[in-house]
Amino acid sequence: MVAVTVVHDETGHDTGRGRSLHRQWAMWDPGVPLRVLRTEYASVAGPIVAFVESLRRRHDQRIVVLIPVAMPGRLRYQLLHNHLDLVLTRALRRSPGVIVARVPMPLDFSDPTSE
């Protein structure tokens, strides 16, 4: 099991964002290693699809991809979120041996101190 994220870096140089994510991940320590992919382009889906395809070629096992889907409580906020989950799902659906599951992640923007 591995967690994957993509860092957009149009300069082509390491801006430190990847190292910062690794430090934060290590402090959280969810028990899963983090793999940071870098891209110079605005596409986040491309590097993830390429990563999954490389895993599929190296391993003769099914690959399960869990895609978190931000679920804001209000419709107006739902329209603001990009829909990367749909793009990834569509791109990975064509890959044999890859199972894609979209996992709803409810977002609560209420202030817990106000209760």
> pLDDT tens-digit profile of 56-111?
888 888 999 998 888 887 777 777 766 788 888 898 988 888 999 988 888 876 65
> How many angstroms separate the CA atoms of 65 and 45, rounded?
13
Give pLDDT, residue 26: 92
Give pLDDT, residue 35: 92
Give pLDDT, residue 31: 92
Strands 98-107, 63-72: pairing kind: parallel
Give pLDDT, residue 39: 84
What contacts 27, CB < 8 A, 6 or more positions away? Answer: none
- Report the greatest alpha carbon distance in the chain: 52
Residue 51 in contact with residue 21, Cβ under 8 Å? no
Residue 52 dihedral angles phi and psi, to the nearest 5°: -65, -40
Banded model confidence at residue 15, pLDDT cuts 50, 70, 90: low
Mean pLDDT of 43-55: 89
pTM, full prediction: 0.75
Helical spans, DSSP H, in 1-115: 17-28, 45-58, 75-78, 84-93
